[in-house]
Amino acid sequence: MFQTSFKYYKSRNPVPTFEDVFVIGMKHPNLQPVQLNHIDGGHILGLHPTTEWKVYELSTRPGLLVLANPFTCEGQRYWMMRSLVNYPMYPNTTNRSNVNQSSRDTEHSWWEMLRSIPHLTERRKYAKLLRWATLGYQYDWTNKVYDEARKEPFPSELGALVRYVATVLGYDRFSPEAAIVNYYPIGSTLAGHTDHSEDDQNAPLFSFSFGQPAVFLIGGTTRDEEPDAILLRSGDIVIMTGASRQCYHAVPRICTDSELPEEMGRSAERWEKPDSFKEHCTDETWVDAQQYIQYSRININVRQVLRENQLTLQPSRLI
């Protein structure tokens, strides 16, 4: 059932309809409002006041929370730039890094290399080469484990963002310790999977979306259960808590505006206003970032690896 839905939403011909897709922020009986802890100070993280936030729990998937874009336009651009400029840099590992090489020139110049390519076609081709970067605990994709020996400092500003959102939602003891930043060109997918590599399987998982829209599937604990489909637009946040933390999920489609109903508006409207983060988003660099984001989605998913009061990974988690 899960794979059938995945293939349906992945299809290019025929193109799927979106009539059965949940849209965060639009009323639906299965999207139940969630109460929040209202906290000041989010503006420095690029967030609207929490009194304006809209958070829902998907009643068919207990524990699956969705937060409709709480970011200002300035905030969206700031986190996009962080994801493009800073997070692929050494010592973080990317899909293009040689994990056995510690040289600082391994991947830190990806953004500058991208910007230096004069021809747009070649630039777009090069942009597609970066698919993921890992922050904090570096994830071993081959063995599906984290390694205590390959633990880098978690970005302080991203940690502050996640802790703020977690506290507003009532998870004030959440500790951001690892993140995977996924870079999706239009046409790419993420196959169905569960996240089970963390020692703490009860802590929530926070997933931030920026750029082009995507269809997100969330099913049950086996692939036999038909999943629900959620449209994630730029700025939307998914929080997997409780039972949903063990559920299969996937991204079968990165969308373009032309595929979506007109009433949903243009994606770029969520980040196009002039911004106040000028030190990070100069006009020149933003032009390059905007060219990238026109054809891409960025997803930052943040996890707590260790159990509360646990100081290091258990031996079974070591490579």
Say how far apart CA 78 and CA 74 lie, in whole Å.
6
3-state SS, 192-246, equals EECCCCCCCCCCCEEEEEEECCEEEEECCCCCCCCCEEEEECCCCEEEECHHHHH
193 is in an annotated binding site: yes
Judged on CB neighbours under 10 Å (0-12, 13-18, 19+), 89 is middle
Dihedral class, residue 172 (left if φ above 0, else alpha if ψ from -120 to 50, else beta): alpha
- What Cα–Cα distance (Å) separates residue 137 from each residue in 141, 200, 303? 12, 14, 10
196 is in an annotated binding site: no
CA-wise closest residue to 305 among 128, 118, 150:
150
Contact 244, 288 (CB under 8 A): no
Contact 245, 65 (CB under 8 A): no
147 is in an annotated binding site: no
List the binding residues. 193, 195, 249
List the binding residues for Fe cation. 193, 195, 249
